[in-house]
Structure 1
Amino acid sequence: MSTLKPLADRVLVEPIPAEEKTASGIIIPDAAKEKPLKGTIVAIGNGKKDEPMTVKEGDTVLYGQYSGTEIKLEGKNYLIMKEADIYGVFQG
């Protein structure tokens, strides 16, 4: 298995799939699904000089709708983005 190690202040995020159904049970068609804005960090870079990384592998994060670049590794979709594109980390 090959792995991708992000450089500098970049992170590799596995998007959490969009909801398939509404709370009332209505199935959402693919065309109407919003791009996921939540994901799990699977790899991080070493940070920049004088700017250590504040997120870690395994964190669930919220990011901007147009953040990152979509890539496919071993059949799975990921986003690679700068740490600055992450709005926050979910806790608890």
Structure 2
Amino acid sequence: MTDPKFEIQMLHDRVMVKTEQETEERRSSAGIVIPATVTMANRLVWGEVCAVGANARLVKAGDKVLFNSDDQYEVEVGGQVYLVMRERDLHAVATPQTEQGTGLYL
């Protein structure tokens, strides 16, 4: 007998995010190579929203968001690690085009 499959539905203003893993080295603006094993204090990370609760107003599944991953809850589903947080813990949402943009692009 196989285990039943359950669909995950986020509650209230909760958001489930899959983080983008930094598996390779990166370069600073001055050209200095920073190994992937180096962690930087207070560094915000990008992730993709996978699920949102009914009261989340500004994000939807598929959005790319900026957040602090240090103080968030982790959950493993199907071998993939996700973070669960409140919508208010997100710092920014990357959108293709806005009326009042910052002039910064990914």
Question: What range describes the TM-score normalised by the shorter chain of this pair?
Answer: 0.7 to 0.9
What is the CA distance between 1:29 and its match in structure 2? Answer: 4.7
Partner of 1:76: 80
Cα distance in 2 for partners of 1:78, 1:85 equals: 15
Aligned residues: 87
The alignment status of 1:62 with 2:66, answered yes or no, reads yes
RMSD: 2.4
The alignment status of 1:45 with 2:53, answered yes or no, reads yes
Larger Rg: 2
Cα distance in 1 for partners of 2:78, 2:44 equals: 20
Unaligned runs of 5+ in 1: none
Cα distance in 2 for partners of 1:22, 1:67 equals: 24
Identity value in percent: 28
Structure 1 segments of 4+ aligned residues over 4 angstroms from their partners = 24-27
Residues 30-89 of structure 1 deviation map (CA, whole Å, 9 limit, x = unaligned): 3x2457611000000000xxxx52101100000124242011101001000000000110
Cα pair 1:15 1:37 within 8 Å, conserved: yes
Cα distance in 1 for partners of 2:80, 2:32 equals: 27
Partner of 2:99: none
Could you tell me the TM-score, scaled by structure 1's length? 0.77
Partner of 1:28: 35
Unaligned runs of 5+ in 2: 97-106
Could you tell me the TM-score, scaled by structure 2's length? 0.68
